[in-house]
């Protein structure tokens, strides 16, 4: 097969990889300071989830630390098991990164609607089905 014949296929594969939300999230994560993000998650937990009856809190954008802003999130939610940073929405789905607070070792809890994939210590890729 000639290289000229492979070019359209290679271009299509490259375009598909660019449109993959997981690949896009990993590219953003590579530019981030992960220990600082996990420290931010721990600080936000301490600051906003003091009472045991609060399991979730959406964070308004004026509360987002600079480290999180650099990820260009759609929204950020604080959960008992970590900080969810939504990076992309599609009909019926939300995709993003879940940061476990520094000092916490247990992984996030999957459910019927959300799946997690470990990317590295304290950082998970999540897919939420709506």
> For residue 10, what pLDDT is reported?
46
How many domains would you assign to the chain? 1
Residue 60 CA to residue 126 CA, distance in Å, equals 21
User: In this predicted model, what pLDDT tens digit does every residue of 78-95 receive, in sequence order?
Assistant: 999 999 999 999 999 999
Considering the domain boundaries, does residue 117 fall inside one?
Answer: yes
* DSSP conformational letter for 113: S
Q: What length is written for the chain?
A: 130
| Structure tokens belonging to residue 20 | 């993959």
3-state secondary structure of 22: helix
Would you say residue 103 lies in a domain? Answer: yes
Q: Is residue 10 part of a domain?
A: no
| Whether 22 contacts 40, CB under 8 Å | no
Tell whether the model's pLDDT for residue 111 goes beyond 80: yes
* Average pLDDT over the chain, rounded to an integer: 88
Is 86 a domain residue?
A: yes
- The CA-CA-CA angle for residues 110, 70, 47, to 5°, reads 60
Domain enclosing residue 107, as ranges = 21-129
- Report if residue 55 sits inside a domain: yes
Contacts of 63 (CB under 8 A, 6+ apart): 44
Note whether residue 89 is domain-resident: yes
Residue 5, pLDDT above cutoff 60:
no
């Amino acid at each position: 097969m000639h290289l000229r014949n492979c070019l359209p296929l290679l271009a299509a594969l490259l375009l598909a990889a660019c449109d993959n939300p997981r690949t896009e999230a990993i590219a953003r994560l590579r530019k981030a300071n992960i220990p600082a993000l996990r420290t931010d998650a721990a600080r936000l937990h301490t600051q906003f989830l003091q009472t045991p009856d609060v399991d979730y809190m959406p964070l308004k954008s004026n509360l987002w630390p600079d480290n999180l802003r650099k990820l260009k999130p759609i929204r950020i939610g604080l959960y008992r098991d970590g900080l969810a940073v939504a990076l992309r929405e599609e009909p019926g789905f939300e995709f993003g990164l879940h940061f476990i607070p520094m000092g916490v070792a247990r992984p996030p809890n999957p459910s019927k609607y959300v799946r997690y994939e470990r990317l590295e210590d304290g950082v998970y890729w999540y897919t939420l089905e709506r």
